[in-house]
Amino acid sequence: MSALLFLLPLLSAAGEPTLELVTLQYPPYQYQDGAETKGFVVDIVREAFRRMGRSIHVSVYPWGRSLAMAESGLADGIFTLYKTPERESKLDYSHQVLMPQAVSLFVLKGAAIHFEGELKPLAGYRFGVVRAVSYGAIFDGAAKRGDIQVSEVAASGEQNVEKLLARRFDILVSNRYGAWDIMKRMHVDGQVRELQPPVEQIPSYLAFARKPELAGLRERFDAALESMRRDGSYQRLVEEADKSAR
């Protein structure tokens, strides 16, 4: 969609303008599939806004562009994003967590590697990561301190999986759902196992642009998301994603 169309908002059945939300290509959370925007987080967001009586349109762009559109007010909201002080100064974050994102460790099936929640005992193993990706404060801090050895840096999640399969390193670190999605698409999920527990659960949110006409929208979104948790519909959508990751 042309950015110009954001200046010509559609009207919902209630006479209110359709809210324009932006996100990134991040399967299985959210992704563009032909003309459709899909993903289990997209389903959660759509249901929350349905309960609010507001129509939405979700567009997928490169992350930097999506963030700039939300911060400038060209888009009305953005998901799924982590909290940072700089972003909080420009955006109105939901109080409710939209989706906790688990950072997990993956090894080849048959590898005698065990994880009990502490990274330091894994100091003798080689880790593989994707360039310029943060894996949360716990993993990033351990790597920076030298508690663990990052021996391979890949250009993409797919390349990182290929390197694990080629035994270029011992342990792959990744967002849990993202890793399983990649491995299933590559048809190699039967060759890898996920260590438990996750390294960290990082909360991600939906945030609104700071525009006068959006006043009160965040409170209504929080209430809708909370109602989904109370009646079990939120958990059902997450459980479907869990099933696909097994």
What does the pLDDT look like over 107-127, one tens digit per residue? 999 999 999 999 999 999 999
Same domain flag for 28 and 74: yes
Confidence of residue 133 (pLDDT cuts 50, 70, 90): confident
Gap between the Cα atoms of 185 and 210, Å rounded:
38
State the angle between helix axes of 233-244 and 217-231 in degrees (0 to 180), rounded to the nearest 10: 70
Residue 1: is its pLDDT beyond 50? no
Same domain flag for 190 and 220: no
Helix (H) or strand (E) holding 174: strand 171-175
Same domain flag for 28 and 145: no
Highest mean pLDDT among 5-9, 66-70, 239-243: 66-70
What does the pLDDT look like over 62-96, one tens digit per residue? 888 999 999 999 999 999 998 888 899 999 999 99
Domain ranges, residue 25: 3-99+202-244
DSSP character at residue 239: H
- The pTM is what? 0.79
Same domain flag for 80 and 131: no
Residue whose token pair is 């997450």: 238
Same domain flag for 35 and 70: yes
Amino acid 129: pLDDT: 94
Same domain flag for 124 and 163: yes
Amino acid 187: pLDDT: 97
Gap between the Cα atoms of 41 and 139, Å rounded:
25
Residues 6+ away with beta carbon under 8 Å from 70: 22, 76, 77, 78, 91, 207, 208, 209
Residue 6: is its pLDDT beyond 70? no
Amino acid 194: pLDDT: 97
Contact 28, 181 (CB under 8 A): yes
Same domain flag for 209 and 196: no
Provide the domain count of the chain: 2
Contact 160, 187 (CB under 8 A): no
Average confidence (pLDDT) over 205-215: 95
| CATH number of the domain that residue 36 is part of | 3.40.190.10
Query: Last residue of some domain: 181, 200, 219?
Result: 200
Same domain flag for 208 and 91: yes
Gap between the Cα atoms of 95 and 219, Å rounded:
8
Same domain flag for 138 and 210: no
Same domain flag for 221 and 170: no
Residues 6+ away with beta carbon under 8 Å from 119: 138, 139, 142, 147, 148, 199
| Listed residue (132, 137, 141, 120) closest to 160, CA to CA | 132
| Listed residue (32, 158, 179) closest to 107, CA to CA | 179
Same domain flag for 34 and 95: yes
What does the pLDDT look like over 23-62, one tens digit per residue? 988 899 999 999 899 999 999 999 999 999 999 999 999 8
What does the pLDDT look like over 134-177, one tens digit per residue? 888 899 999 999 999 999 999 889 999 999 999 999 999 999 99
Amino acid 14: pLDDT: 55
Amino acid 241: pLDDT: 76
Same domain flag for 127 and 172: yes
Residue 4: is its pLDDT beyond 80? no
DSSP states of 79-144: EEE---HHHHTTEEE-SS-SEEEEEEEEEETT------S-SGGGTTSEEEEETT----HHHHHHHH
